[in-house]
């Protein structure tokens, strides 16, 4: 019952986060000449240039990245991301019909809207979902680079490059003010996300203490294509144990938690790693 309640609660939080994000975009950011970042930013630019329905642009822009993410990061991630995206898209439609006006300076409105957007996206990320295709793409690229080079890479630089391209396009095809305001949105939103999610773009070290490590290591290798460091350890009560150390991205953390939950009798901790030296 506890696990069922936790899952229902996580879905509820994702819905709340998606509604906060869509409210911020429609009611605060766009009226103040700013746009979202990532794939949603691309969708807003397309909608402004073509006149197509914004919610449909957002949905069709996100779907290809969602397919890649669901395949790579698992069914749970795929379901939660699809739920978040569906609620976000529906929220865009609903809030377009809500008469809301924030009578303040553009700068203050954009900062406030960026904070709400960041908090909404952070809630979704905390619960194991995602509604921004750029983050999924960055995770896939990082995994590919890690497999090819044998080194761990951060999502930060890829996300910065992706969003830099979005804002350059906004600068060229919309106007300078929109690009600069949108850059402010990105700075505020990512600052909020970083604090709420404990640096989602950083590498995560998972330490697992267990008496039976073989099945855990096998699942980590099969499902995440990761290896582990295995060490002997000793507990004052449990006696001899094995300690596994594995490094994953934030988006892989949800699948790691599922692996650990299926293997009872283990104790695990997660910590943020700023840098790995080789």
The pLDDT of residue 129 is: 85
Q: In what order do the strands lie in the sheet with 239-248?
A: 229-235, 239-248, 203-210, 267-273
Q: Record the tokens describing residue 205, joined without a space.
A: 């070290």
Identify each DSSP E strand in the chain by its residue range: 203-210, 229-235, 239-248, 267-273
pTM as predicted: 0.83
Query: Is a pLDDT exceeding 90 seen at residue 245?
Result: yes
Distance CA 199, CA 202 (A): 5
DSSP reduced 3-state for 56: helix
User: What average pLDDT score do residues 188-216 get?
Assistant: 86
Angstrom distance (rounded) from CA 232 to CA 133: 40
Residue 277: the pLDDT is 66
The pLDDT tens digits for 131-180 are: 888 888 888 887 777 777 766 667 778 888 888 898 898 888 888 888 88
Tell me the CATH class for 203-273. alpha beta
Determine contact, residues 125/55, Cβ cutoff 8 Å.
Answer: no
Alpha-carbon distance of 223 to 221, in angstroms, equals 6
Q: Give per-residue pLDDT as tens, 77-116.
A: 888 888 999 999 999 999 988 887 776 787 888 899 999 9
d(CA 172, CA 150): 38
Beta-strand pair 229-235/203-210: unpaired
Distance CA 104, CA 8 (A): 38
Q: Which of 16, 34, 29, 196 is nearest to 113 (CA)?
A: 29
Helix 250-262 and helix 75-95, axial crossing angle in degrees, nearest 10: 130
Contact between residue 70 and residue 136 where contact means Cβ atoms under 8 Å apart: no
Distances (CA, A) of 91 to 39, 41, 109, 132, 191: 17, 16, 20, 15, 24
The CATH 3.30.70.120 domain(s) of the chain lie at 203-273
Average pLDDT of the residues in 29-42: 87
183-200 in b/e form (b: 16+ CB < 10 A) is bbbbebbbebbbeebebb
- From CA 219, how far away is CA 270, in angstroms rounded? 18
| Predicted confidence (pLDDT) at residue 191 exceeds the cutoff of 70 | yes
């Amino acid at each position: 019952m506890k696990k069922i309640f936790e899952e229902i609660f996580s879905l509820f939080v994702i819905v709340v986060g998606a509604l906060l994000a869509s409210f911020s975009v429609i009611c605060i950011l766009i009226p103040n000449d700013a746009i979202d970042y990532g794939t949603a930013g691309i969708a807003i630019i397309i909608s402004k240039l073509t006149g197509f329905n914004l919610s449909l642009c957002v949905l069709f822009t996100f779907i290809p990245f969602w397919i890649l993410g669901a395949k790579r990061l698992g069914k749970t991630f795929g379901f939660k991301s699809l739920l978040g995206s569906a609620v976000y898209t529906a929220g865009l439609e609903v809030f377009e019909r809500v008469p809301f006006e924030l009578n303040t300076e553009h700068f203050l409105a954009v900062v406030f809207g960026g904070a709400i957007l960041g908090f909404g996206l952070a809630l979704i990320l905390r619960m194991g979902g995602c509604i921004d295709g750029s983050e999924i793409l960055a995770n896939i690229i990082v995994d590919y680079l890690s497999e090819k080079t044998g080194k761990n890479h951060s999502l930060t630089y890829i996300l910065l490059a992706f969003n830099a391209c979005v804002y350059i396009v906004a600068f060229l095809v919309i106007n300078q003010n929109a690009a600069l305001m949108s850059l402010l949105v990105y700075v505020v939103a990512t600052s909020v996300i970083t604090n709420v999610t404990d640096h989602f773009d950083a590498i995560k070290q998972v330490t697992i203490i267990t008496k039976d490590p073989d099945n855990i290591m096998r699942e980590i290798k099969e499902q995440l294509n990761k290896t582990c460091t295995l060490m002997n350890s000793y507990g004052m009560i449990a006696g001899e144990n094995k300690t596994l150390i594995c490094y994953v991205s934030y988006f892989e953390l949800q699948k790691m938690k599922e692996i650990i939950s299926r293997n009872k009798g283990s104790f695990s901790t997660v910590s943020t790693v700023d840098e790995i030296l080789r």
